[in-house]
Amino acid sequence: MDKYVLKINGTDRHVTASADESLLSVLRDRLDLTGTKYGCGEGECAACTVLLDGKPIHSCITPVSAAANKNVTTIEGLEKNGTLSPVQQAFVEEGAFQCGYCTSGMVLRATAFLRETPHPTEDQIVAYMDGNICRCGVYPRIIAAVQRASQSPAKAGGQ
Ligand code: FES
Ligand code: FES
């Protein structure tokens, strides 16, 4: 077991874990951040998406050692002082979920996308979100939510 410092949602968190333990396992089982979901566990579904230094990654196949001293953003870190992020708000307004299992991964991937591409076309949204699987098939509403978030006046200052 080794000791790591993870900068999670702006706060240093100290954990003791094996170097090859997944970031997902550390988040959920050691830090009780259960908003990040376990889907396939094999890097195929993206339910476990978090941002590592702003980039979306599959936390199920990312060892905790790769996240040491880096900024990790989870779904718990998007809301600020009781206000949902523009992407979260747009998902609510579009009803872009059914069971909700894919939602935190979708929201985080969309957040990273809109930081890079603030005014995307529908085709760009579809292409970027392609690897995130929704077993409930609410893709049209997810696309609509990303479009809505891209038009949000609250977008300035970060998604
Ligand atoms: S749980 Fe990580 S990609 Fe499916
Ligand atoms: S809302 Fe159920 S998997 Fe996407």
16 CA to middle of ligand 2, Å? 32
Single pTM value for the model: 0.95
User: What are the pocket residues of ligand 2 if the criterion is a CB atom closer than 6 Å to any ligand atom?
Assistant: 97-102, 134-136, 138
pLDDT, tens digit, 9 for 90 and up, residues 97-151:
999 999 999 999 999 999 999 999 999 999 999 999 999 999 999 999 999 999 9
Q: What pLDDT, on the 0 to 100 scale, is given for residue 156? A: 44
Smallest-distance ligand from the CA of 47: 1
Give the count of beta carbons closer than 10 Å to the beta carbon of residue 34.
14
pLDDT, tens digit, 9 for 90 and up, residues 45-93:
999 999 999 999 999 999 999 999 999 999 999 999 999 999 999 999 9
Q: Whose CA is nearest to atom 3 of ligand 1?
A: 43
> How crowded is the C-beta side of 129, counted as CA atoms within 13 Å?
30
Smallest-distance ligand from the CA of 102: 2
Which of the 8 DSSP states describes residue 75?
G
Which of the 8 DSSP states describes residue 96?
-
